[in-house]
Structure 1
Amino acid sequence: MLQPRGILRSLFEAAIAAADPAQCVPPNLPEPPRGRTIVIGAGKAAASMARVVEERWAGDLSGLVVTRYGHAVLTSRIRVREAAHPVPDMAGLEAAREIISLVSDLGPDDLVLCLISGGGSALLALPIEGLTLADKQEVNKALLRSGATIGEMNCVRRHLSAMKGGRLAAACHPAKVVTLLISDVPGDDPINIASGPTVPDPTTCEDALEILERYGIKPALAVLEVLTSGRGESIKPGDARLAQADVRMIATPQMALEAAARVAAKHGLAVHILGDAIEGEARDVGKVMAGTALQVARRGQPFTPPCVLLSGGETTVTVRGQGRGGRNVEFLLSLATTLDGHPGVHALAGDTDGVDGLEEIAGAYLAPDSIARAWTKGIGVKRSLAENDGHGFFEALGDGIVTGPTLTNVNDFRAMLITEEAAINAE
């Protein structure tokens, strides 16, 4: 039988595989139209999704998708552009302009196949008229450091964009638009996946202003003008241009957790999914999850060891220290401070896109002896947490998890393995 680290890594790999475009795109492709087929899209999985479309599409097609640097794959008919994430850059702006140009002269017999996955919000970086890329970059950086939820960040982004909040689908009218979505957001609301470029948006400029005020963000005067004047208002439910929009959710965090659960069951472990949409500060979630694990280990409640506790969602990190952030490693640091080396409790947390925060590291593995091993290197777990330095902590231990670009994204994956040793120590 695999050791705890190997088991947890196999669960993480199963979660990623469940969102592989090669598995989830083909069953959801629409019928070819009488007219043209234009493929567009954005996100960390956009290029790999486009490649699968090319392999499975019988008729003619062309198009353009934009993905994160390092996430491109070889395609023949659909062009792939790379741009920056999570802070947009000029390459993303230029790709967004090209996409708008591609869909500007379509008719009712044409089809737009839109491939959307996590990360698309930054990659479709076309500011609304009157704003510059620098304006959007400034707001985006402030939101990322503020501790705002993904829903709050995307609300602001939708009202500063020429593409988000349904505007891209409106630009495709009167062509039929079919959107294939790989969800990376808690609750799988399409409006929050890449900020909803092809779905109507019920939120308002007033909502966006309230979010900026809540987090003490003071944007440029041009941003305030767009929001206070109402010029940034998005496409609303009931708009006729989106009447024919067909949105298909093809991979979600819950599907990934269920795939991991099946692998855990093959190892003879009881599996309990605690939630696929858990939000909040990563350090707060870590404390709560640690409390649950300790109750299982000490009391056999509400579950009996050996077992695996799985969860997903998207936490946040308010960076106050000098570290590099990363919500999954921050979660693990917080978990470690509460577990305090309890024997028999192992954990793994990682982002399914292979990038935790701004780092090319998916996450990390936490063992019962992690704190003790860190002390031998002169590293204190509480100090690391105070500095938001989870990446530094786990790199020093050799316990960071590097996958490289996974070419998909269904948000964070967390697994806690509570072994028989925990049950024995509790007796």
Structure 2
Amino acid sequence: MRTGPLSLQEPERDGAARLLLRRLFDAAVSAADPELVLKDHLPPRPRGRCIVVGAGKAAAAMAIAVDRAWADVDLHGAVVAPYGYGYGYGKPAGRIAVREAAHPVPDANSEAAAREMLDLVAGLRAEDLVLSLISGGGSSVMALPVPGLTLADKQAVNRALLNSGLDIRSMNAVRRRLSAVKGGKLAAAAFPAQVVTLAISDIPGDDPAAIASGPTIADAEEGRDLSALAERLRGEIGEAAYCKLVAPSATKHAPRAQTCDVRLIATPQASLDAAAKVAREAGYDVEILGDALEGESREVAEAMAHLTSAPRGRPCVLLSGGETTVTLTGRSAGRGGRNTEFALALARALSGRSGVWALAADTDGEDGASGGGAGAIIAPDTLTRAAAAGLNVDDALKRHDSGTFFSRLEDLLVTGPTFTNVNDFRAVLILPDE
């Protein structure tokens, strides 16, 4: 008698599919757990002082891992994480202080954290070491405006970027231009000390300069013409910020005669590989579509739905990472994020097709404004249950209210902060009919 996924009956088949989807997500997150992966990437112990700085959703977990791994090293410092990701404001990670600030729009604590990091790395010597712990979410929690701009200017720019539908590279180009700490300026302040950056990538392509806008990576696009981006944002940003964006960048901030040592301790591809291992052990074929998928969430969902229709004789899992975008339309946006919107658009495109389940979630545990969810799960009966609950798929997509939609169905994936971030994770299970 067959005992694999095809031999199960509903609701057992549905329960098994949902359980496997969650196991795949958990494997992806575990592969990026700083406690498990950071210690193998540490540099040789320094001859002089060791200063630890950092920013991002994984900053606190990374700081704790450093403190434990280097218990015999004289070190101190501070890192900053978004509220809820820092294990409590001001609580130390051993000898490393943990601050918290706002995400995705910076606040006064973001500015204070940036100033603290610059102060910590000032006045060092060549034999000293700066360990920079960087992960996604670091851009907003360590934000210091360039001279001539205010925090309010930076906040307006961040809000405009979040609503713009721009890809992450374009957004980071804007952020670096307006920042006194990003684009290598933190490393410049640490000269002549050695700077080693341990990074968890949440960026398609794993470009270190784009992770948290690269505070220790010299800005290779410092002279880039940003006028087109400035024009796109002009109606929502102040005149001072607009003028900074259209003006040529004349000052070089790259560390003087200093090579950036960047070590990626966790990446989206490594997380996909970990999930693939779990899927294969469960008896599924695996197709990894890539770790850098981009585009509008709805369009990516429609393309994914098309892929599920290919003939397959065995149970299969489609895995992908990357970061889709949601361009807000109108002023009546509801609760949702790029993953819940992807999931809802996929459910609509599949139109109740049997044998297909999917999970889409952000590995940091928070999918935009989805109401505390990391993402969502869909099943063949999603649309049927939605209709019975009085939910309209087209209306929810129009109002970008996918988080509310899945919350009503109890299909919102709620994990809480994971204290890491390797971007979005998507898994689509395909069980062909017997």
Q: TM-score, normalised by structure 2?
A: 0.92
Shift of 1:323: 1.5
In the alignment, which residue of structure 2 is the partner of 1:350?
361
Letter in 1 for 2:78: L
Specify every segment of 5 or more residues in structure 2 that has no aligned partner in the other structure, as ranges: 6-14
1:129 is aligned to 2:140:
no
Query: Secondary structure of the equivalent of 2:23?
Result: helix
Q: Select 1:198's aligned residue among 203, 216, 221.
A: 216
Deviation at 1:205, TM superposition (A): 5.5
Give the Cα separation in 2 of the matches to 1:240 and 1:56. 28
Residues in 1 aligned to 2:243 and 2:357: alpha-carbon distance in whole angstroms: 51
The Cα shift of 1:385 comes to 1.0
Matched residue, 2:112: 94
Selected match of 1:294 from 263, 284, 309: 309
Matching residue of 1:281:
296
Q: In the TM superposition, what is the alpha-carbon distance from 1:231 to its structure 2 partner? A: 5.3
> Aligned partner of 2:101: which letter?
A
Q: In the alignment, what sits opposite 2:273?
A: 258
**SS at 1:153 equivalent:** helix
Aligned to 2:394: 382
Distance in 1 between residues matched to 2:83 and 2:242, nearest whole Å: 31
Amino acid at match of 1:66: V
Q: Which residue of 1 aligns with 2:55?
A: 42
Which amino acid in the other structure matches residue 287 of structure 1?
E
In the other structure, the counterpart of 1:423 is: 433
Residue in 1 that maps onto 2:328:
319
Select which of 61, 83, 86 maps to 1:72. 86
**Cα distance in 2, alignment partners of residues 200 and 337 from structure 1:** 44
Aligned residue in 1 for 2:348? 337
Output the amino acid matched with 1:370.
T
Give the conservation status (yes or no) of the 8 Å contact 1:159–1:233: no
Kindly tell me: are residues 248 and 217 of structure 1, through their superposed partners in 2, closer, same or farther at Cα, counting changes over 3 Å? farther
> TM-score if structure 1 supplies the norm length?
0.94
Flag structure 1 segments of 5+ consecutive residues without an equivalent: none
Deviation (angstroms), 1:229: 3.6
TM-superposed CA distance for 1:213, in Å, is: 2.1
Q: CA deviation at 1:187?
A: 0.5
SS at 1:3 equivalent: helix
Deviations 1:248-306 (A, max 9, x none): 111000000000000001111111100100001101100000110122xxx33xxx431
Q: Deviations over 1:63-120 (max 9, x none)?
A: 0100011111352200000001111111111011011011111010100000000001
CA distance in 2, matches of 1:412, 1:242: 36
1:309-363 Cα distance to aligned partner (Å, 9 max, x none): 0000001111224312300000011111110000000000000000001342100
CA distance in 2 between counterparts of 1:229 and 1:89 reads: 26
Q: 1:116, 1:233 → 2: CA distance?
A: 24
Could you tell me which amino acid in structure 1 is paired with residue 315 of structure 2?
Answer: P
Give the direction of change, closer, same or farther, for the CA distance of 1:214–1:423 in structure 2 (3 Å limit): farther
- Aligned to 1:262, what secondary structure does the other structure show? helix
CA 413–179 in structure 1, closer or farther in 2 if over 3 Å, else same: same
Q: Is the 8 A contact 2:336 2:404 kept in 1?
A: no
| CA offset digits 1:17-51 (Å, max 9, x no partner) | 00000111100011111110000000000000000
Structure-2 change in CA distance of 1:233 and 1:411 (3 Å): farther
Structure 2 distance, partners of 1:257, 1:376, is 35
| 1:373 pairs with one of 385, 390, 394 | 385
1:389 to 1:210, Cα distance in 2 relative to 1, 3 A: same
Q: Contact 1:20/1:408 (CA < 8 Å) preserved in 2?
A: yes
What's the % identity of the aligned pairs?
54
Moved segments of 4+, more than 3 Å: 204-207, 214-218, 228-235
Q: 1:371 to 1:233 in 2, by over 3 A?
A: farther
Which of 410, 420, 429 aligns to 1:408? It is 420
TM-superposed deviation, 1:387: 1.2
Say whether the 8 Å CA contact 1:46–1:67 is kept in structure 2. yes
Q: Structure 1 CA distance, aligned partners of 2:417 and 2:250? A: 34
**One of 108, 127, 145 as aligned partner of 2:126:** 108
* Cα deviation digits, residues 350-402 of structure 1 (max 9, x gap): 00000001342100100000011010111111211111111011000000011
Query: Helix, strand or coil: the match of 2:291?
Result: strand
| Matched residue, 1:308 | 317
Residue of structure 2 aligned with 1:7, choices 9, 20, 38: 20
> Which of the numbers 164, 167, 175 marks the counterpart of 1:157?
175
- Partner-residue secondary structure (3-state), 1:275: coil
Is contact 1:278–1:314 with CA below 8 Å preserved after alignment? Answer: yes
**SS where residue 330 of structure 1 aligns?**
helix
Moved more, 71-80 or 166-175: 71-80
Is the contact made by 1:40 and 1:113 (CA closer than 8 Å) also made in structure 2? yes
Q: Match of 1:265, SS?
A: helix
- Distance in 2 (alpha carbons) for counterparts of 1:309 and 1:240: 42
How far the C-alpha of 1:206 sits from its partner, in A, is: 4.6
Secondary structure of residue in 2 paired with 1:349:
strand
The alpha-carbon deviation at position 215 of structure 1 amounts to 5.4
Aligned-partner Cα distance in 2 for 1:292–1:123: 38
* CA deviation after TM superposition for structure 1 residue 221, in Å: 1.6
Distance between the aligned counterparts of 2:182 and 2:251, measured in 1?
11
